[in-house]
Structure 1
Amino acid sequence: MDLTGRGVHEVRPVGKHLLIRFDDGHTLHSHLRMDGAWHLYSPEARWRRPGHQVRAVLGTAGKLAVGFNLHDLRWLPTKAESRLIGHLGPDLLDPEWGDEHAAEAIRRLTADTGRELGRALLDQTVMAGVGNLYKTEVCFLLGRSPWTPVAEIDAARAVRLCRELLLRNAWHPEQSTTNRLRRGTQHWVYGRRTCLRCGARVRRGTQGEDVEARVTYHCPHCQP
C-alpha cells in the first residue's frame, strides 16, 4: 500500500500495539508480538535487520521508520481502533493515567484472587504493557514468586510497580529494572543464574500452558 503524501500526526503505543495515526483519519496498526520492532534510521544508514523481515517503511526526507516482523499490520479508520484494542485493560503508559486508571487496573487484577500472579500480570486485559521481563521483575520486587495467588499480594503496589518500571524505560532501549545500566546489573533475576540482591541461585521454570507458556525466573530466598 502506497501512503505517499499522507502525514503522520500522532504515534500512540497501547501495550504492544502501536497506532500510527494519519491526518486523513486513518490509522496504521501494528503489533510487535515477541520479535517485532520498529527502527528509526537516517536515509543512508544500513538497516540492522535483513530486508526480508520488513513489512512497512514510512519515510520523510530526513528519517525512515522501518517495521520488522510485524505479524499484525492493519489499515483502518482511526475511529474504529476500538475493534483492535477495546478489549485491553488500562494502558500503563497512558499519558492521561490517573487514579481512575489505577483503580480499574486493581479491580481487574483482583477479579480472580486465586489466579497466579505471574499469569495475571501478563494478561493484557488486566493491564496493557507488561511483558515477560517486567512480570518477572515485578514479582521479585513484590517479594513473591510468580506462582503466588493474587490474593496474597498488595495489588495497588503491583500496579504501581508495573507503571513505574515501564515509565523508567520508556525513552531508552535498555530495559533496566534496577536503575543500573551496566551490563550484568540491569535485572534482579530475569535471565540470571544468581540473584543480584542476595547471590542465591535463581530458579528457572515455565508458567502457563501452550501458547501462553513463558519462561520465568525467581529467587527462592528473596521470593518465598
Structure 2
Amino acid sequence: MPEGDTVLQTAKRLHTALAGRALTQADLRVPRFATADLTGRTVLDVTARGKHLLTRLDDGLTLHSHLRMDGAWRVYAPDERWRGGPTHQIRAVLANTEHTAVGYRLPVLELLRTRDEDKAVGHLGPDLLGPDWNPDTALGNLIADPGRPIDDALLDQRNLAGIGNVYACELCFLARVTPWTTVGALPDTTAARLVATAKRLLEANRDRPNRTTTNFSTTAAHTRAHARDRLYVYGRARRPCLRCGTPIRVAERNGRPTYWCPRCQSGPTE
C-alpha cells in the first residue's frame, strides 16, 4: 500500500532512472493528455511531496501523479520485459536510452506548469519526509478538530502529509487508543507523541524494502524470523496481538480496513 515512505522510494528510483536525460519516448495514456508530446525534453528531477510524485521537465512542465491504493511506477532496462500489469493498465511511459519508467493504474496523471505545482500539492500539510517538516504546525493541524476520530485526522493529508492506512492503524496501537477515539478525548501529550512517532516510523522506513513498526533491526536473521511480524496490527486480523496475545480485530470503515487490539487499545470501537 503506497504511503509516504513508499512514494519517496518510488521518487528516488524514478529520479535515478530519468533525471538528467532526454526523453526518447513519452506516452501519456489518459484522454486529456494523450496528444501531449514530451519527446526530447530533459527530466530535471523527480520529487515526492507527501503521497504525490512530481516529475519536472526542462521546459517548465511538471508531470504530477498519485498512486492512491493500487498505482505503481516500475523501471525497466531497454530489453527487459514489462511485468507490472497488463497493457490496458498502463497510464504512462517515460523512456530514455537507458531506462523505461512505466506507470500502472495511476488514478491521477496530469501535466501542469511547474510554477503551478501548488494547485496539486499546495493543500498538503507538512511532509513527514520532506524539507518543509514542522512538528508544531502538524500538531496544530491534527488537534484543530477535537470531535474528529484520530485515525481520520491522521489520514487527512491537509494535517500532515505521508500517513496512509497502515501507519494510521499502527500509530493508534502504539498510542494505546482505538482509531475511533476523538482527538479531543486523547490523553494529555498523546497527540504530540503521535506526531513524533509518525516522524520516527517514516524516517526509519524511508529506505527499507519491507516496512516495519515492530523492530528496526536490519539483520538478515531478523528479516527471516519476523517476516510475518513486521507490523503490530495492520493485516493481522484474528492473529494474536504481539503484546498481549488477544486476537486482533478488523472493521471496514469508509472503504478501508481498520485494525486494532481490543485489549491493548482503549476507547470507543465500531
Taking structure 2 as the reference length, the TM-score comes to 0.76
Correspondence for 1:195: 241
Aligned-CA RMSD value: 1.5
Aligned residues between the structures: 217
CA contact (8 A) 2:126 2:132 kept: no
Residue 39 of structure 1 pairs with residue 74 of structure 2: yes
Partner of 2:102: 66
Q: Distance between the aligned counterparts of 1:39 and 1:201, measured in 2?
A: 37
- Report the AA paired with residue 82 of structure 2: W
- CA drift of 1:47 comes to 2.0
The alignment status of 1:221 with 2:263, answered yes or no, reads yes
Amino acid at match of 1:143: R
Aligned equivalents of 1:79, 1:68: Cα separation in 2 = 26
* 1:132 counterpart = 2:176: no
Shift of 1:9: 1.4
Deviation (angstroms), 1:172: 3.2
Q: Which amino acid aligns with 2:40?
A: G
Cα distance per residue 1:114-140 (max 9 Å; x no partner): 211111111111111111001000111
TM-score (norm 1): 0.91
Q: Distance in 2 between matches of 1:165 and 1:51?
A: 35
Write the distance in 2 (CA, Å) between the matches of 1:172 and 1:23: 31
State the distance in 2 between where 1:170 and 1:57 align. Answer: 25
Contact 1:187 1:196 in 2 (8 A): no
Letter in 1 for 2:88: H
Of the three residues 115, 121, 125, the one matched with 1:79 is 115
The runs of at least 4 consecutive aligned structure 1 residues that moved more than 6 Å come to none
Out of 201, 219, 226, the residue aligned to residue 165 of structure 1 is 201
- Cα distance in 2 for residues equivalent to 1:65 and 1:24: 20
Alignment of 1:117 with 2:163, yes or no, is no
Aligned mates of 1:42, 1:168 — CA distance in 2: 29
Gaps of 5+ in 1: none
Q: What amino acid is aligned across from residue 136 of structure 1 in structure 2?
A: C
Q: Which runs of 5+ in 2 are unaligned?
A: 1-35, 218-222
Q: Deviations over 1:147-167 (max 9, x none)?
A: 112121412111112222222
Q: Give the 3-state SS of the residue equivalent to 1:184 in structure 2.
A: coil
- Structure 1 Cα separation of the partners of residues 262 and 163 of structure 2: 23
Aligned to 2:128: 92
Quote the Cα distance in structure 2 between the aligned partners of 1:2 and 1:186: 44
Moved more, 83-92 or 101-110: 83-92
Distance in 1 separating the partners of 2:77 and 2:200: 32
- The whole-number CA distance in structure 2 between the counterparts of 1:163 and 1:12 is 19
